[in-house]
Amino acid sequence: MRKALSISFITIKELLHERVFYLIGGFALLAVGVSLLLGDLTYAEQSKITLDFLLAGIELTNLLFSVFMGITLLHRELNLGWIAMVLSKPVSRTSFLMGKFLGQAFVQGLVILMMGFLTWGLCSMNQITIVPTSLFQSLLLMFFEGLIMSSIVYIFAVNLGALLAAASSLVVYALGNFTTGAERTNQALQQSYVWMALKALIPNFRILNMKTLASYGLSIEWNLVGILFLYTLVCCFMYFSAAAVSFSRRDIFT
Amino acid sequence: MNTADILIQGVSKQFRTGLGKSKIGVQNLNLEVPKGQVVGLLGPNGSGKSTTIKMILGFLRPTSGNIRVCGHQVPSKITRSFIGYLPENPRFPKFLSGRTLLNFYGRLLSLTGIELEKRIDFLLELVNLKAAGDEKVQGYSKGMTQRLAIAQALINKPRLLIFDEPMSGLDPLGRKDIRSLIGRIHSELPEATIFFSSHILEDIEQLCSMVALLKKGQLQTFCSIDELLKSDTQKFEVSVRSSKETEIKTLTGTDELITFLNESKSKGFFVSGINSQRKTLEEALFRDGNSPIKIARTNSPEAQP
């Protein structure tokens, strides 16, 4: 575990050097733009819609971070050959992957937190009431979603090229968001074994989405947050294990 | 108990290149690298040198066969704790300094604290990077990067050093630097086995005690450099003075030399000098100009550690 932590420390430095906080700058611009555009709406609408837009912005940034940073972190190691000097030491490939994952998760959490503070600041400036608990819970669930997404991205990133890995990850994200809705509109799906297998393999991102609740200032029970945290851990363990097994078996040509 | 630091037994590696297609990287390779030797792995591009090295490190899995490092089965973490590896064209994260990188690699080898700091200072001095140690790698030249890569390979005083084309892409001065550095490493770690690949005969000849020659994934030769250079035809340059002129003759083999000396004596010529000419590795390996000679000193695959 100490070796994985050493790798995660270097990964954090790498991500900070990547000027990942430009993402926050981009988000800040979006946030200011949204608040100006929606300024003409009535107070009740403005409050809800602005917060909804800002949370959707954080969610999108979080998704892009998981997919593109995850792929870049692994592919750069493999393509530039940095990995050769790490894996020639007594470090398992699983520890290497774990280090990358932990480093990415730390920076991802930091980015979400900073975007949350920006949202809070902007809403306060525009006299939009925010319920801190609901905003925090919403951000926390987005972080959980980011963790699950990153572990899924790793499965594709260790096996496929960058473009295919990104496309596959985004398809899984889309499926994870739409399985519940698809079932509601098409009852026959519930009888299909293929659909049931797909549902078992793909995480349900819908249950981690409480943007709408947060925009109305509503929060959920902390017990439920705990259960969702456990769900996140199980999903991460499952997908990360698949990525680690796959990575341990592949040839490294670098 | 086998004392070989690297034992390769019947190893083959095939790469899938497409649907139903494959390419042979290494074929039925048997090699036993004894402890404490400097062994050169020689061969043209695509001969399987890097594939062999990557299989020893566990980066590539052999299609068949068995590899052991310091008595332990590859791949395993324990084998890598004995190894210091210098990859071909090493590259480092550019945003880190040489010292930070060495610290990172040291931690991966479970080194910490003052012990690690002292080792880093020593290595930066050894590879002549003391002044540039705190600078970011971004500003390092190719030669400096290569020297930093050598330092990271030495951080745990490894029992087995594996260098993949250590002189690749360097200018003559850089190559000379690395050659002398490898010499210094050998004196710092006299017990260590150094196994390095190259396609530059001169480097192998100057540094190695043994040479293994690979061609198209197959081992052609594995023997000591001395044995290779001594074998069969030794050349002599003889200066003979007759009454009119001085002539220099090149003779091959001791039999020819003795015959010539006897003839010269009977003709009354004066032999003013005899120089024994040492063959170059190139002459020894490629006698007909193309095909490498085969010296059957490969180790038996039955040999067990």
Q: Residue A175 contacts by C-beta under 8 Å, 6 or more apart in sequence?
A: A198, A202
> In Å, how far are A218, B38, B163, B295 from B195, measured between CA atoms?
66, 6, 6, 20
- Residue in B96, B109, B149 nearest the CB of A13: B96
- Both tokens assigned to B44: 């043209």
- pLDDT for the residue numbered A40: 65
B80–A contact, CB cutoff 8 A: yes
State whether B87 and A251 contact (CB < 8 Å): no
Q: What is the value of pTM for the model shown?
A: 0.83
Section A70-76 average pLDDT: 91
Pick A125 or B292 by higher pLDDT.
A125
- pLDDT for the residue numbered B105: 94
What is the number of structural domains in chain B? 2
- Both tokens assigned to B104: 């990172």
Would you say residue B88 lies in a domain? Answer: no
A31: confidence class by pLDDT, cuts 50, 70, 90? confident
- pLDDT for the residue numbered A109: 94
- Order of strands across the sheet with B4-18? B21-34, B4-18, B64-69, B72-73
For tokens 């052609």, what's the residue?
A: B220
B91–A contact, CB cutoff 8 A: yes
- pLDDT for the residue numbered A51: 84
Residue A102 structural domain: 2-249
What is the number of structural domains in chain A? 1
Please answer whether residues B119 and B111 qualify as being in contact, where contact means their C-beta atoms are separated by less than 8 angstroms.
Answer: yes
Quick one: B247 and B204 in the same domain? no
A232: confidence class by pLDDT, cuts 50, 70, 90? very high
B60–A contact, CB cutoff 8 A: yes
Half-sphere exposure of B117 (CA within 13 A, CB side): 2
Q: Report d(CA B166, CA B150) in Å as an integer.
A: 9
For the stretch A182-225, pLDDT in tens is 777 777 777 778 878 887 888 988 888 888 888 888 888 899 99
Please answer whether residues A85 and B73 qualify as being in contact, where contact means their C-beta atoms are separated by less than 8 angstroms.
Answer: no
Residue B200 identity (one-letter amino acid): I
State whether A252 and B61 contact (CB < 8 Å): no
A19–B contact, CB cutoff 8 A: no
Comparing C-alpha atoms, which of B203, B256, B178 is closest to residue B42? B203
Chain B residue whose CA is closest to A99: B108
Comparing C-alpha atoms, which of B88, B155, B178 is closest to residue A89? B155
- pLDDT for the residue numbered B302: 38
Would you say residue B170 lies in a domain? Answer: yes
- pLDDT for the residue numbered A42: 59
Q: CATH number for the domain including B167?
A: 3.40.50.300
What is the Cα A135 distance to its own chain's centre? 17
Q: CATH number for the domain including B255?
A: 3.10.20.510
Positions of chain B with pLDDT under 70: 1-2, 230-234, 277-305
Quick one: B215 and B247 in the same domain? no
Would you say residue A254 lies in a domain? Answer: no
Would you say residue B174 lies in a domain? Answer: yes
- pLDDT for the residue numbered B256: 82
Quick one: B28 and B74 in the same domain? yes
Would you say residue A226 lies in a domain? Answer: yes
State whether B107 and A84 contact (CB < 8 Å): no
Helix, strand or coil, per DSSP, at residue A152: helix
Helix ranges (H only) for A65-131 are: 70-80, 82-87, 93-125
Q: What is the DSSP string of B113-176?
A: HHHHHHHHHHHHHHTT-TTTTTSBGGG--HHHHHHHHHHHHHTT--SEEEEESTTTT--HHHHH
- pLDDT for the residue numbered B281: 67
- pLDDT for the residue numbered A127: 77
- pLDDT for the residue numbered B295: 45
Q: Is the dihedral of CA B289, B294, B295, B299 positive or negative?
A: positive
Q: Residue A132 contacts by C-beta under 8 Å, 6 or more apart in sequence?
A: A120
Would you say residue B221 lies in a domain? Answer: yes
Would you say residue B96 lies in a domain? Answer: no
Helix, strand or coil, per DSSP, at residue B246: strand
Quick one: B181 and B273 in the same domain? no
> In Å, how far are A57, A232, B210 from A46, measured between CA atoms?
16, 33, 79
Crossing angle of helices A43-64/A132-157, nearest 10°?
30
Residue A235 has pLDDT above 60, yes or no: yes
B113: left (phi over 0), alpha (psi -120 to 50) or beta: left
Rg over alpha carbons for chain B, rounded to the nearest Å, is 23
Would you say residue B125 lies in a domain? Answer: no
Section A41-50 average pLDDT: 70
Residue B271 structural domain: 235-278
Helix, strand or coil, per DSSP, at residue B271: strand
Quick one: B171 and B268 in the same domain? no
Q: Where is B256: in which H helix or E strand?
A: helix B254-267
Quick one: B14 and B78 in the same domain? yes
Helix, strand or coil, per DSSP, at residue B300: coil
Would you say residue A128 lies in a domain? Answer: yes
Quick one: B209 and B241 in the same domain? no
Other CB atoms within 10 A of residue B5 CB: 25
- Residue in A17, A82, A251 nearest the CB of B92: A82
Quick one: B76 and B172 in the same domain? yes
Percent of chain B whose pLDDT exceeds 70: 88
Would you say residue B261 lies in a domain? Answer: yes
For the stretch A143-178, pLDDT in tens is 999 999 999 999 999 999 899 999 999 999 998 888
- Residue in A81, A86, A253 nearest the CB of B108: A86
Among residues B199, B230, B261, the one where a domain terminates is B230
Q: Is the dihedral of CA B66, B67, B73, B74 positive or negative?
A: negative
Shortest Cα distance, chain A CAs vs residue B193, angstroms:
16
B81–A contact, CB cutoff 8 A: yes
State whether B90 and A81 contact (CB < 8 Å): yes
Among residues B167, B195, B230, the one where a domain terminates is B230
Other CB atoms within 10 A of residue B104 CB: 21
User: Burial, A95: exposed, middle or buried (Cβ in 10 Å; 0-12, 13-18, 19+)?
Assistant: buried
Would you say residue A99 lies in a domain? Answer: yes
B22–A contact, CB cutoff 8 A: no
Comparing C-alpha atoms, which of A129, A175, A127, A128 is closest to residue A149? A175
Supply φ then ψ for residue B295, to 5 degrees: -115, 110
- pLDDT for the residue numbered B231: 55
State whether B77 and A90 contact (CB < 8 Å): yes
